[in-house]
Amino acid sequence: MSKELKDRFDACQTKLDDLYKHLDLKTKQTRIDELKALSQDSDFWNDQKKAQGLMKELNDLKALVEKWEGLKNQMDDVEATLDLAAEDKSGELVQEALGHLAAVEKEMERLEFQKMLSGEHDKAGAILFINAGAGGTEACDWAEMILRMYRRWCDQHGFRNQVVDFTPGDGAGFRSAVLTVEGDYAYGLLKAEIGVHRLVRISPFDANKRRHTSFASVFVLADVEKEIEIEINEDDLRVDTFRSGGAGGQHVNKTESAIRLTHNPSGIVVACQSERSQHQNRALAMKLLKAKLYEAELAKRQKAKDEIEKTKKKIEWGSQIRSYVMQPYRMVKDHRTNLEAGNVDAVMDGDIDPFIRKFLMEFTS
């Protein structure tokens, strides 16, 4: 084994050992044993809600420990392969070991990154609210481009996503859109996107081919419906039905299947028009309402305010977090981290992980 290869293997082994300590896996294993014992109790399922919460905690802890143990087993395999490689003059075993080592390094990087997603609801799904800024058709088109970017990103990560409400723009795009994202850590990742996104380009809607600057705001809530209990009094709701938007002639335009809920005590209004039935749209609208009510409650708690203080200035309208410049040069720049990317097309096709990762590494602890 060459010195360079040995140093790389040793560094990888040290990093794996550090992860064990940083993730506090010894304590987590103790908790796993406690939860397993609890689950064997004859009264465990008497309280269904509590039992489901404990089982979810158990499964999450087991998944984390098993992931680390899987990496340890892979490192043992790499070490064994490298020992055999000393007798192999063809070099094939060395290449095999290098391939396995690279896979372990990549997976450890993901596990290390996951440490930063330890907020109360980071593992939850996400609800994105995208709104066009001032600028008419140009801004509405930009809002649609932003929506497409996030849907491409979701597809790349295997996250199920759905546009549940939208207001069409005049001529193109959207004035506003609501996107739900289902998948582990969707909220933990997408919370890095909260803020105003700025586009600079020669407008395709300007006959004089002048350069325009457009803005779209993105706000992200955690989908907390399955994680916390929020009681909503039906008497506090005003329910309105209307015909869904979309291409003429479709079923959604022939019936009043869309739902708008107004929560009278808070004044919060949500709507959903993506499904074919009022029942389905009402269920989705209730999910949006619960997320907004929970966020409003958090805002009232001083402790919660302290936790989000670092990003508070980033989420207000007019406080841009990222610029997407298409003319006179091509570059995407995140103003919080100063990270830049020259391949604008790739970013618009959903390649935003470098920006998310950089932000979370710098602004979370």
Residue 296 lies in a domain: yes
Residue 156 lies in a domain: yes
Residue 269 lies in a domain: yes
Residue 144 lies in a domain: yes
Residue 155 lies in a domain: yes
Element (H, E) at 167: strand 160-168
Vertex 204: Cα angle to 202 and 206 (nearest 5): 80
> Are 68 and 146 in the same domain?
no
> Are 216 and 70 in the same domain?
no
Do residues 197 and 218 lie in contact, with contact meaning Cβ atoms separated by under 8 Å? yes
Give the residue from 65, 88, 114 where a domain finishes: 114
Residue 295 lies in a domain: yes
> Are 103 and 133 in the same domain?
no
Q: Write down the H helix ranges in the chain.
A: 3-22, 25-39, 48-85, 92-114, 137-157, 186-190, 251-254, 278-300, 302-312, 344-348, 353-363
Confidence of residue 84 (pLDDT cuts 50, 70, 90): confident
Helix (H, G, I), strand (E, B) or coil at 141: helix
**Strands 320-325 and 195-202, sheet pairing:** parallel
> Are 219 and 315 in the same domain?
yes
Residues 138-145, mean pLDDT to the nearest whole number: 95
Confidence of residue 295 (pLDDT cuts 50, 70, 90): confident
> Are 326 and 212 in the same domain?
yes
> Are 195 and 283 in the same domain?
no
Output the pLDDT for position 247.
Answer: 47
> Are 181 and 285 in the same domain?
no
Residue 32 lies in a domain: yes
> Are 21 and 57 in the same domain?
yes
Residue 306 lies in a domain: no
Vertex 205: Cα angle to 202 and 206 (nearest 5): 65
Q: What average pLDDT does the structure give for the chain?
A: 86
Share of the chain above pLDDT 90, in %: 51
Residues 6+ apart with CB under 8 A from 142: 132, 135, 173, 197, 199, 214, 215, 216
pLDDT, tens digit (0-9, with 9 covering 90-100), for 177-222: 999 999 989 999 999 999 999 999 998 888 788 888 999 999 999 9
**Closest C-alpha to 67, from 100, 108, 96:** 108
> Are 204 and 277 in the same domain?
no
Residue 302's alpha-carbon distances to 192, 289, 314, in angstroms, are: 22, 22, 19
> Are 341 and 357 in the same domain?
yes
Give the residue from 276, 300, 324 where a domain finishes: 300
- As for how many domains the chain has, the answer is 3
pLDDT, tens digit (0-9, with 9 covering 90-100), for 316-347: 445 689 999 998 899 999 999 999 999 999 99
Output the pLDDT for position 251.
Answer: 40
Exposed, middle or buried, 237 (CB in 10 Å: 0-12/13-18/19+)? middle
CATH number of residue 93's parent domain: 1.20.58.410
What's the first-to-final CA gap in the chain, in angstroms?
38
Output the pLDDT for position 111.
Answer: 80
Give the residue from 277, 300, 323 where a domain finishes: 300
CATH number of residue 200's parent domain: 3.30.70.1660
Vertex 34: Cα angle to 29 and 38 (nearest 5): 145
> Are 175 and 216 in the same domain?
yes
Task: Flag whether the pTM goes above 0.75.
Answer: no
Domain extent at residue 197: 125-226+311-363
Q: How many CB atoms lie within 10 A of CB 346?
A: 12
CATH number of residue 269's parent domain: 3.30.160.20
Peptide bond into 204 cis (omega under 30): no
> Are 55 and 79 in the same domain?
yes
